[in-house]
Amino acid sequence: MAAEYPGLLLLSRNEALRAYVELVLVETGIPIRYFDSAKEGLFWLLDHTPRAILLDEDLDVDPFAAAVRIRHVKRLKEVPLAVLISPSERLRATAEVVRVLPLEKPLSREKLFHFLRLSPQQGELG
């Protein structure tokens, strides 16, 4: 049985993106687990069910192909899944066909909070 993971799974080779997401999420107490390769992330998903999954278009494989594989796992069908893409009608259309949320670069705190269904107040320290 897969363990529930209360955080975000981020698959990206971009160290700056990973650092930014971690910096934004530290405010909320939501943990982040990230991998450089899709293979490592998919292997981790065998034993874990995260709160949400974010794939970067700059992955070592086609992020939409990885998303399709994730969507084929019954237990992961309801997990929010997004692909971070460059602004492009073609990429938005591909995301629609694959049924994942396209998040256009650059990623902002607001876009990340919206994807994770957090209110802006949840990130305020106080």
End-to-end CA distance of the chain: 37
Instruction: Check: CB of residue 68 under 8 Å from CB of residue 81.
Output: no
Q: In what order do the strands lie in the sheet with 81-85?
A: 32-35, 3-11, 48-56, 81-85, 101-104
pLDDT at 126: 38
| Structure letter (DSSP) for residue 15 | H
- For residue 92, the model assigns a pLDDT of 95
Q: What is the pLDDT of residue 100?
A: 94
| Phi, psi angles (nearest 5°) of residue 88 | -165, 130
Q: What is the pLDDT of residue 123?
A: 57
Q: 84: which residues sit within 8 A by CB, 6+ positions away?
A: 12, 17, 54, 55, 56, 57, 103, 104, 105, 107
Place of tokens 């237990």: 75
pTM across the whole model: 0.93
Domains and CATH numbers, the chain: 3-119 (3.40.50.2300)
pLDDT at 107: 97
- pLDDT by residue, tens only, the chain of 126 residues: 899 999 999 999 999 999 999 999 998 999 999 999 999 999 999 999 999 999 999 999 999 999 999 999 999 999 999 999 999 999 999 999 999 999 999 999 999 999 999 987 765 543
